[in-house]
Chain A
Amino acid sequence: MYRYDQFDHTIVRERVNQFRDQVARRLSGALTEDEFRPLRLMNGLYLQLHAYMLRVAIPYGTLWSKQMRMLAHIARRYDRGYGHFTTRQNIQFNWPKLEDVPDLLADLASVEMHAIQTSGNSIRNVTADHFAGVADDELEDSRIYAEIIRQWSTLHPEFSFLPRKFKIAVSGAPTDRAAVRFHDIGLQMRQNIRGEVGFEVLVGGGQGRTPVIAETIRDFLPKRDLLSYLEAILRVYNMLGRRDNIYKARIKILLKETGLDRFAALVEEEWERIRGGALDLPLDEINRIRAYFAPPRYELVVDPDAAYQAARRSDREFDRWCVNNVLPNKQPGYGIVNISLKPVGKAPGDATADQMDIIADLAEAFSFDELRVTHKQNIVLGHVRLADLHTVWQQLDAAGLATANFGLASDIIACPGLDYCNLANARSIPVAQRISERFADPERLARIGAIRINISGCINACGHHHVGDIGILGVDRRGEEYYQITLGGDPADNATIGEIIGPSFSYDEIVDAIETIISTYETIRKPEETFSDTWRRTGATPFKETLYGPAHN
């Protein structure tokens, strides 16, 4: 896990002091709200429907327990006792008071955290594979490069007033768990024919109102050129990206207008000029960062733990949770525990301060002090001995954190929606709650199997509806909340944008419509098929027939 040195501590402390002065100038009236707005947005502070919202960066989603405890403290002290984990592996607090925010940021800085560039038209928090370092299929731990990019992009003097926000994701494994094809820049680690590890660079992906799958701009980028190449892309985008229309300002629109070939030629020309210069990334520097992400001191486990196996045989609930929520760590005898923040009837991604403390305690006691936040708004304990699983499960269960639905129908991604957000057309959270209640029966969940239901309260797509097997988009129809359904989206290697299936449904109808789709899928799927497989095989027809009747074909 990355740890700050004096260098990092200084920059974050100075940033807190700088913002403290800016807040004081706002509170004294020296700055108008208009003048203050860009300053607070540089620091993750939004003004929402009811109050300020502060988004705290969790770089590539990785935390240690002390940091999680500080988030719990902040939830209690400055908020209403809870926080909301987001699809970009961050956490949001919905009720801080402006005058408290400098102290809140100082508290964060004391545990090596900040809110820098969690909003604004800057390079946002870099995301990575939430199973980095523990999955057995990766070339390298993607967090090494995410941290290098975090440092390079932090308070970047040239790229803090881009045409629009800019998101970078890194995947170190051939199986894409970081949705690299849906980011402004996706970095996919690859091996070239000489066996060297570098990056395939993808550019121009994104969701929002114009969903686009990223295209490959470079098949193989050597690691030492990583930062100079990123700088070349950002510079071309900064100069040419549209600034006349906020909805056309992302790099994906620039790429459509220039074409990939011309854009790539501009980037390559600029890169040729600057590569090998001040941004050259020597192996020593990569290794310095790599050391922070070295694997923990695992115990050698020879035989499977008898007590663990006995517990699974005797405790049905525990066994179900192991089947659904625990994945194998590449180290024998250890598991990757997925803690679901999607209990039936609750807001997806929310955790109370007490739950955060319990998760932190478990991480400290059983998972080498380390936690990850996933873009599906869950928490991961990456390195739990199988022998400890029963204890961990019991403690999670007592805290309402043992919902055995990882990757299943009630493991729903949802944005905050109209309950909090001033951009939303419709509520997201209550729709997620009602769907999870409808699919509360664990036997039913198991029969349905893996499925992604993603809900966005508006076209900005914070709830990733475009890439859900089932995507739900809140729309406003004559002042009423309606929900449009898209099917067949896929965030990963077979990146696909979901298709609109037909007319939208009212708030009262939407859960029945989702049930109809899922029942249809259960009826028509062939053995071993995922939802995507079935969708690709049958197309929309069977779903349209059951949703709207045969007349609609």
Chain B
Amino acid sequence: MALLITDQLIEDYWHLLEDGAEITKSDNNIVSVERWQRDRDELIPRCGQLGILLKSNEPPDLIEDDIYHFNVICLDFPKFTDGRAYSYARLLREKYRFTGELRAVGNVLRDQLAFMRRCGINAFEIPDDANVENWSAAFNEISIRYQGANDNANVVRPDAATVAGDVAGNWSY
């Protein structure tokens, strides 16, 4: 899989450490929650940069007290219809103040990228044959936000004071 970060394909120097595999490299391992919970005390001293993968049924409160250990948190979308990780992303950013790389993995579709980014996800595992220009264009198809999410949008639209104006003829204001 290729990794899309801010409109560019970059080489992924992280790798997934399988639950049974030995810790051969000391850096850039992504581990499962299960592995983390089992080998936490071994992983911390052996690994420099560390990442974790949250499955769609593993909410961030499972790693609430450990978040500062991770440089990358991967959120799995097993099927694109499973939208739990959108909320996990927002909690990680807004409740747990995670500032590292938040990566969408799994069934990541072009037409979901914009929603993911608005929830705080900033890296996307996409198919190797994906056309980067075309996929990156998906971020900007809708330029307007009606609601606040993990971005600066607000309930009150920027031009609220200047609108209304000429409304239907017979209605009084």
Contact = CB atoms under 8 A, between A and B. Distances in A.
Interface of A: 1, 3, 5-7, 10-11, 14-15, 17-18, 21-22, 35, 38-39, 64, 121, 151-163, 227, 235, 238-239, 243, 273-274, 277-282, 284-285, 288, 291-292, 294-297, 368-369
Given A5-B159, A121-B83, A294-B171, 20 more contacts: A3-B167, A3-B168, A6-B159, A22-B111, A38-B80, A64-B168, A121-B81, A151-B146, A153-B147, A156-B147, A158-B86, A158-B87, A158-B118, A160-B83, A238-B87, A239-B84, A273-B95, A282-B156, A285-B156, A297-B171
A295 B141 contact: no
B149 interface: yes
Interface string B144-157: 10111100011111
A294 B170 CA distance: 11
A7 B168 contact: no
B159 A157 contact: no
B168 A369 contact: yes
Contacts, number: 138
Contacts of A243: 81-82, 84
A157 B86 contact: yes
B83 A238 contact: yes
A113 B56 CA distance: 35
Interface of B: 59, 80-84, 86-88, 90, 94-95, 109, 111-112, 114-119, 141-144, 146-149, 153-157, 159-160, 163-165, 167-173
A18 to B, nearest CB: 4
A10 B143 CA distance: 8
A279 B146 CA distance: 11
A297 B168 CA distance: 12
Given A157-B119, A239-B88, A5 B143 contact: no
Contact of B155 (A11, A121, A227): A227
Nearest to A66: B168
A105 B117 CA distance: 26
B170 A369 contact: yes
Nearest to B111: A39
A160 B115 contact: yes
B78 to A, nearest CB: 10
B172 A157 contact: no
B156 A11 contact: no
Contact of A11 (B59, B94, B144, B170): B144
Contacts of B119: 157-158
Given A152-B155, A273-B95, A157 B171 contact: no
B59 to A, nearest CB: 6
20 contacts: A1-B171, A5-B163, A7-B144, A10-B143, A14-B141, A18-B142, A121-B81, A160-B86, A161-B82, A162-B83, A163-B83, A243-B82, A279-B155, A285-B156, A292-B167, A294-B172, A294-B173, A297-B170, A297-B171, A368-B168
